Amino acid sequence: MQIRYGTGTSTGRVREQNEDSFTVIDCREKDFIVFAVADGMGGMDYGDLASATAIKILEDMGRGCDGFGKTINEVRESFRLLFSKINIEIINKSNDRESVAGMGTTMSLCCVDGNWINIGHIGDSRIYIMREGQIKQLTKDHSYVENLVDTGRITREQAKTHPDKNIITKALGLDMEVDSDYCREKLESGDRILLCSDGLTNELDDSEILKIIEDEKEPGEAVESLLAKANESGGRDNVTALLVFID
């Protein structure tokens, strides 16, 4: 399979600083590529420091292209150790500097490994797959509003405008124990994979995201269009998108 990708980020139209971080670890010589996005929380420099810490630890771990393993159990354990290491580092930095106490970050990452995509996730940044004209969210938001939807107290439509939609129930740096998600998906030629922060999904619904991606032939151009449309729709948060074309 041929892999093409585009990346981009925007501060948006309201925030003064971009607290999103992202990376691509391209190890195609060893048949895998890692994509990740982290959305920091804490305000001012706090969120920026938390998300940057998460991405740096991931990049350090991926240096040399050693990979995350091949079997489900190997990859799951590698992701668990990664999230645990990031979590401890952010907590330690919070303890060392009172001014950044309470900072945290979401993190959604995927390793495209041969014909498979392995996903690790915590928070409300998202990973989608688009296939044959359909869009499917592969991650589950760790948020207060998502819990309300799961328990039937509000509808999915009501969740879009709920006043507490930005309350996160899980993130890196908040608790000593990390409870991240893992899943695996078989890839097919023609698939499109999107990683994004909630600055995108709070401004555009899934159908709008799908249409923009389907209308563009190059992943970089699609990312530019996604960021522009999110800003046109309000741009109330930082926006980051990583788009992968599997051909």
The model's pLDDT over 147-190, given as tens digits with 9 standing for 90+, comes to: 999 999 998 888 888 988 889 999 999 899 999 999 999 999 99
The pLDDT of residue 238 is 97
Identity of residue 198 = D
Q: Interior CA angle at 163 toward 158 and 230, to 5°?
A: 80
CA dist 66 → 29, 105, 140, 172, 184 (Å):
11, 25, 28, 24, 19
The pLDDT of residue 35 is 98
CATH number, domain of 114, equals 3.60.40.10
Of 110, 118, 127, residue with least CA distance to 186: 118
User: pLDDT tens per residue, the chain (247 residues)?
Assistant: 899 999 999 999 999 999 999 999 999 888 899 999 999 997 656 899 999 999 999 999 887 677 788 788 999 999 999 999 999 999 999 888 776 778 999 999 999 998 999 999 999 999 999 999 999 999 999 999 999 999 999 988 888 889 888 899 999 998 999 999 999 999 999 999 999 999 999 999 999 999 999 999 999 999 999 999 999 999 999 999 999 999 9
Q: How many structural domains does the chain have?
A: 1
- HSE, side-chain direction, 13 A CA sphere, residue 34: 27
Please check whether residue 238 is in contact with residue 41, taking contact to mean a CB–CB distance below 8 angstroms.
Answer: no
The pLDDT of residue 165 is 84
Distance CA 133, CA 207 (A): 10
Distance CA 190, CA 84 (A): 34
| Residue-number span of the structural domain to which 18 is assigned | 3-246
The pLDDT of residue 224 is 98
For the entire predicted model, the pTM comes to: 0.95
